[in-house]
Structure 1
Amino acid sequence: MNNTRLIKLLRYSARITLAVVALSWFGFAVLSGAGNGLRGLLANLPNTLPWLGLAIVVYVAFRWELVGGVLVLVTGLASVVFFNAWAAPIVLVGASLPVIAAGTVLLVCYYLDQHGSKP
């Protein structure tokens, strides 16, 4: 596999990972309060704000790889603090690390595209 195809594969893998993480956690945040009907769903909407923010960052990452990669990486690092992920390893592995890894991959792909991907 040549380097251009590898970069493209990594880029799309990072984007898909980000989209899946954002949509999954957003859906979970919306529906976790739905057991109490519409009132519970509406009362639970503030829990979706971090994931709505991630969805916006993912959109930026799809449009502008460098800016999006930096924002994704910063968002992932901020999520460690925001969700106190060090205290709950499942949150670290399920929410923060995939975002941090995807942001890093996007930045590496951008760098390789700009500076050549010579072996």
Structure 2
Amino acid sequence: MTTTPSSGEQGRQLPASSILDDSFDDFLARAEHELICRRHEVRTLRRRARRQRRREVSLRTRIARCIGKAGPVGLAAAGTTTFGAGTVLLVAGDANAAKDAFALSAAAWGAANAAHAVSRGR
């Protein structure tokens, strides 16, 4: 291979490519090593991006997410507690208070179900 003569030089030979100096197996080994390095770099960049997104999430958003996850559980627990209290009131003989407690427990369970459905995006 020759180059265009510059400043009066006759055509000179270009240096042989380094790819041609090595065997095909060496070339493949270098290419595989390069691929592994690039995969590692991509993983590192993705990890950095995730961490950056976490840092950018505001405190209000974090609180809202926490409430969104804990809200249905709290409402279900409140419904269960109210149902137990209604059962105790019914056994004690206060039917009107037991009726109100059962209605409140049903409302709490319904709200828990609705909050769970909203948080899952249904």
Higher relative helix content = 1
| TM-score computed with the length of structure 1 as normaliser | 0.38
Q: Which has the larger radius of gyration?
A: 2
TM-score by structure 2 length?
A: 0.37
